[in-house]
Amino acid sequence: MKIRKITILYIFYALLYCFHLNATPKNKYVIEEVSILETSSFFLVKRDSVFFKGFQEVQKDYKKENYAKALKSALALFDKSNTDDNLFDLKILIADIYSKSNNHDKALNTYKEALAGLKNYKPDNNLDFNFTKKNEVKLNLRIANSFHKLSLKDSAKRFYKKVEETNVFDKEILKYKAIAFASLSGIYQLDSIYEKAIDYAKKAIEINKKTNSKLSETLALNNLGSIYLSQNNFELAKETYLLGIDIIKNDNSQKAVVVKAGLYYNLAWAMRNLKEYEAYDYQELSYEIENGLRDKEVRRAVEEVNAKYNIDVVKKEEENKRLKQKTNFFIYAAAGLLIILFLLYFLHIYKLKQKNLRLQLSQTHLLQNQKLEKLKAEVRDRVLNATIDGKETERKEIAETLHDSVSALLSSANLHLIAAKQYFNKEIPVEITKSQTIITEASKKIRDLSHTLVSSVLLKFGLKTAINDLVSKYSNSNLALDSDISNIRRYQQNFEIKMYNITQECLNNILKHSKASKASIYLTETNNQLHLKIKDNGVGFDKNKPLENVGLGLSHIESRVLLMKGEFSINSSIGKGTSITLQVPVMER
């Protein structure tokens, strides 16, 4: 039965510890405390031996965390005492017990009574004054902590400020100030006043550096990291947590190990937000530390059970309480099953978080690939448009050369031949006449070639006349083509060439693919935007397919329009014709 009792208690302690781990967010502020009892009061020298002995017994129970017994003894001792000095120290001890028992209302009232008694004390010398001042600072800090735990932030701030305003400076009071600064930092963080929160956290860190309080400095760094997390400044939070870990890396005390676990957990959280997946390693390290702490707690609990219940006592109790223990066994067994279910649930949640992180990573890779494909498409479109622009420029230059130079040379040669005919009195040689015929035919072909390369109508008369000329040329018995052009003037020449080529390409698509009997061109300028719409009553196509799969060169037209910082849209469906609409900003001459 002893083994059964130990097993049940083991499960009970494990359940309590699991609840503790999962109920305490690690990136919250820690209210660091200092006990009044850590330093002996100068009033102790005035106490009688009977009271002093009873006071020491209460202190022993308090340090053993037997708070119920300590409180009962302290209250009994309080009733017997009639000396103000004794009552002062005893009130502080009682308030400490209330605080440790989470009865913060009573702790607060008792601390206030002790502070009021301290203010009425008149010190005899400087030593008494300094000692009294230290106790006053500690009491103000304890009162502030009690207000803080009761969520009375304004009152807590008022007493933390009193600690800050203390003019007596020694190492002990500096430590109390560091605690006050860290707590003020936490309050301002909760109020989202991050500048003040950061300022007080840094003050606490600086004092702890001066006093060489490494663990307190690490706690302040952890709190500072929490502020940076609240501001989503994950990089600075990461640096702060790493600094805190480095400071206590060689400290293996119980409290330092707990702080390390929290730091590693917070570091993992910051790194996950930075997409640095070494965060998993730090999270696992945090879990390993926590598991080690839990094992220590359980071993300590088992040792306490072994010390409390020896074999003989258990056997005697077994005879008297067999039925009760049988009932308790089923209760504890149910509690153990509940623990297992909780652990399985937390394991499921952990695996789910890991799965979500992997999914986020996959989504990140997918987005990067999509951006890369988009960049490739943009580069491809730019190269294509640069090629088309180069061809248009080259065709324009060739057309101008043919028209202005070659055609002019041929005309000059023809004039010379005409002049040469005057010197023949008799019949003109047939070679001269044939040469003139050849030159005339070459001039015509060069002129036609020049017009094919770049419309001379476009260059001379502008976009409106050139498009009307296109309408005239493309209209036939199978296709009735009309135009509606208004508010069109002369624009920058390359701009006109591009718009002319886009229109010509659309008309070519209508002739080749649409099987339309009627088509219309609408061109107008509004608010420095050139609007072009071309529609037909042809066979149409499925506009939901990618443009490059349609095979009509529309993707090239769209790319050109987008590079001109314009807008392009297609409205088409099978059997219902096609409407192409675009608008581009005007380029002035």
> Which band of pLDDT confidence, cut at 50, 70 and 90, is reported for residue 580?
very high
Q: Taking residues 332-339, report their average pLDDT.
A: 89
Instruction: At 407, list the tokens.
Output: 């055609």
- Return the percentage of the chain with pLDDT > 70, whole number: 72
Neighbouring C-beta atoms of residue 200, cutoff 10 Å: 27
At residue 455, the pLDDT reads 67
Q: How far apart are CA 258 and CA 441, in angstroms?
A: 100
Give the pLDDT confidence of 355-406 residue by residue, as tens digits.
888 888 888 888 888 887 777 766 666 665 666 666 666 666 675 566 556 7
Q: Could you give the 3-state DSSP secondary structure of residue 85?
A: helix
Give the pLDDT confidence score for residue 116 in this predicted structure. 82
Give the per-residue pLDDT at 9.
40
Of 373 and 464, the structure prediction assigns the larger pLDDT to: 464
pLDDT over threshold 50, residue 28:
no
Per-residue confidence band for 19, with pLDDT thresholds at 50, 70 and 90: very low
Mean model confidence pLDDT for the chain: 77
Asked if residues 538 and 567 have their Cβ atoms less than 8 Å apart, the reply is: no
Round to whole Å and give the CA distance between 102 and 148: 12
Mean per-residue pLDDT for 5-25?
A: 39
Give the model's confidence band at 113: pLDDT under 50 very low, under 70 low, under 90 confident, else very high: confident
Where on the phi/psi map is residue 542: left (φ > 0), alpha (ψ -120 to 50), or beta? beta
Among 333-337, 412-416, 573-577, whose mean pLDDT is lowest?
412-416
Residues 6 or more apart from 515 whose CB is under 8 A from it?
A: 538, 539
Give me the mean pLDDT over the 229-254 stretch.
86
Tell me the angle at which helices 49-63 and 84-100 cross, rounded to the nearest 10 degrees. 10
Most confident of 11-25, 38-52, 520-534, 563-577: 520-534
The mean pLDDT value for 96-123 works out to: 82
Give the pLDDT mean for 218-237: 88
Residue scoring higher pLDDT (377 or 181): 181
Sheet holding 529-536, edge to edge: 480-486, 518-526, 529-536, 578-585, 567-572
401 or 115: whose pLDDT is higher? 115
pLDDT top residue among 119 and 92: 92
Among 138-147, 203-212, 270-279, the minimum mean pLDDT is found in: 270-279
547 contact partners, CB below 8 Å, separation of at least 6: 554, 555, 558, 570
**Encoding tokens for residue 488?**
């069109």
pLDDT-derived band of residue 254, with 50, 70 and 90 as boundaries? Answer: confident
Which residue, 588, 568, 571, is CA-closest to 579? 571
CA contacts within 13 A on the Cβ side of 588: 2
Question: In this predicted structure, which of 55-59, 109-113, 414-418, 493-497 has the lowest mean pLDDT?
Answer: 414-418
Q: What is the average pLDDT across 48-62? A: 80
Query: Quick one: 544 exposed, middle or buried, by C-beta within 10 A (0-12, 13-18, 19+)?
Result: exposed
Query: What Cα–Cα distance (Å) separates residue 564 from each residue in 291, 373, 467, 583?
Result: 64, 21, 20, 10
pLDDT of 552 higher than 60: no
| Residue 246, phi then psi, degrees to nearest 5 | -65, -35
212: left (phi > 0), else alpha (psi -120 to 50), else beta? left
- pLDDT value for 544: 75
Alpha helices in 274-321 (DSSP H): 279-308, 311-320
Which has more pLDDT, 557 or 306? 557
Closest C-alpha among 556, 552, 522, 517 to residue 537: 517
| Pair 572, 578: CB distance under 8 Å | yes
pLDDT at 53: 82
> Is pLDDT of 310 > 50?
no
**Could you give the count of Cα atoms lying within 13 Å of 165 in the half-sphere of its Cβ?**
7
Round to whole Å and give the CA distance between 263 and 252. Answer: 14
Q: How far is CA 471 from CA 2, 480, 551, 558, in A?
A: 106, 9, 24, 22
Ordered structural domains, the chain, with CATH: 48-168 (1.25.40.10), 460-585 (3.30.565.10)
Q: What whole-number percentage of the chain has pLDDT above 90?
A: 10
User: What confidence score (pLDDT) does residue 393 get?
Assistant: 64
CB-based contact 219:30 (threshold 8 Å): yes
Burial track 150-170 (b if 16+ CB lie within 10 A, e otherwise) = eeebeebbebbebbbebeeee
Q: Is the pLDDT of residue 528 over 90?
A: yes
User: If residue 510 lies in a helix (H) or strand (E), which one and from where to where?
Assistant: none
What is the β-pairing status of strands 518-526 and 567-572? unpaired
Coil/strand/helix, residue 192: coil
pLDDT at 136: 83
Quote the tokens at residue 572. Answer: 């088409």
Average pLDDT for 482-498: 90
pLDDT at 55: 83
| pLDDT of amino acid 516 | 92
The pLDDT, as a whole number, for residue 566 is 93
pLDDT of residue 215: 85
Q: For residue 327, which of 335, 341, 316, 10 has the smallest C-alpha distance?
A: 335
pTM: 0.45
Residue 33 has pLDDT above 80, yes or no: no
Q: Mean pLDDT, to the nearest integer, of 142-161?
A: 89
Residue 42 has pLDDT above 50, yes or no: no
* Between residues 316 and 432, the one the model is more confident about: 432
Q: What is the pLDDT of residues 266-285, one digit of tens each?
A: 888 888 888 776 655 666 66
- The pLDDT value recorded for residue 11 is 42
Q: How confident is the model at residue 503 (pLDDT cuts 50, 70, 90)?
A: very high
Beta bridge partners of 481: 519
Token duo for residue 501:
């080529």
> What confidence score (pLDDT) does residue 518 get?
93
Region 185-198 average pLDDT: 89
Residues 6 or more apart whose Cβ sits within 8 Å of residue 408: none
Q: What's residue 277's pLDDT? A: 64
